[in-house]
Structure 1
Amino acid sequence: MIERQYVTDGVIALLAAVTGKPVSERTVPIDPDTGKPIPPPYTLVDPLDHVTDDNTLADAHTTAISDYQATFVSGPVPGVPDSRGGPRQAQWLADRGRKVVARPADGSPGYAHPLTIPGVGCYWRQAREVGGTSDPADGIITSVIRYRFFLQETGT
């Protein structure tokens, strides 16, 4: 059976790699050196559905479909008083988040950026943008992408 926490860890690592910014599960990232919240921009990952039943009589639960929502959070510009997050910053971060489904530039099979989950391969990925916040009075602007990962145990 494919364990959800390993998938979540892999998704967080993948998003951190493609965005180059902090990523955290369901809460604001914390700076391990100071114990304080990291200021935006960053990404919040929310695990959604995780289906392990392939609807066959002989289902051995060796496959799973895992859904995640990534909220790309913009924020004030460091060192600029009274600055706020903006749509360009949120979109910039979401553009990097879309690299999760990017294919290799040379046309080879697979994906340009690996999703590393011990003993599990990802044979298909989907991403769709589903909205975000847009009120500048909020002080932050977000963009949201939902991902779906089709997984199968590899036995390694």
Structure 2
Amino acid sequence: MIERRVVTNALASLLGTATGLPVGKGVLPAGGATAYYVLTPLDSSLSGAPYADMSEDLSLVIQVTSVSAPDKSRPGTAGTLEQAEGLADKARAAYLARNPTTGQWTNPLTVTGVRCMCRELEVEPGAMNDPADGIISYVQRFRFDLTPA
């Protein structure tokens, strides 16, 4: 069986490495950055394996919230839609970009004993803001279909 926790950790690592930005798993990342991601595991489903195969496939959805926050060292600043959309573009590229020559994913999802069959942007609700504190966020949900390697 594919362990969801291990996949979540690998997805967070892939996003952080590909973008060079902090990623929190279900929480704000430590450090007080003004641009960061919050990765939240959402839905998952297991497909029933054939009788002769004891390994189920896993389909999971993660939500990536791209956050543009005020710079606390400069009072009166606010996050910007431009920055939040730029972060969303980077997240989309991190998970979905392919090498045009080989067709392989630009950023491999490395999970021992697991192969990723499909990656897709499931829904992109887009930007949301909180005018009270100047935080702009941008939400995307990605689906990953995995099978034992």
Task: Return closer, same or farther for 1:134/1:30 CA change in 2, 3 Å cut-off.
Answer: closer
For residue 63 of structure 1, report the CA deviation from its aligned partner.
Answer: 1.2
Q: Which residue of 1 aligns with 2:55?
A: 61
Q: Structure 2 length as normaliser, TM-score?
A: 0.88
More strand by share: 2
Name the SS for the 1:134 alignment partner.
strand
Q: Deviations over 1:118-155 (max 9, x none)?
A: 1111121001312231343341000011000010111x
| Aligned equivalent of 1:132 | 127
Displacement of 1:30: 1.7
Matches of 1:6 and 1:63 in 2, distance apart?
15
Percent identity over the alignment is: 37
- Residue 95 (structure 1) shift: 0.5
Task: Select 1:87's aligned residue among 81, 92, 96.
Answer: 81
Pairing 1:21–2:15 present: no
Q: Distance in 2 between matches of 1:123 and 1:15?
A: 18
Distance in 1 (alpha carbons) for counterparts of 2:55 and 2:47 = 6
What is the TM-score of this pair, normalised by structure 1?
A: 0.85
* 1:112 alignment partner, SS class: coil
Kept after mapping to 1: 8 A contact 2:84/2:127: no
Q: Count the aligned residue pairs.
A: 146
Kindly report the root-mean-square deviation, in angstroms, between the aligned alpha carbons of the 2 structures: 1.8
Return the match for 1:109 from 103, 109, 112.
103
* Structure 1: runs of 5 or more not aligned: 32-37
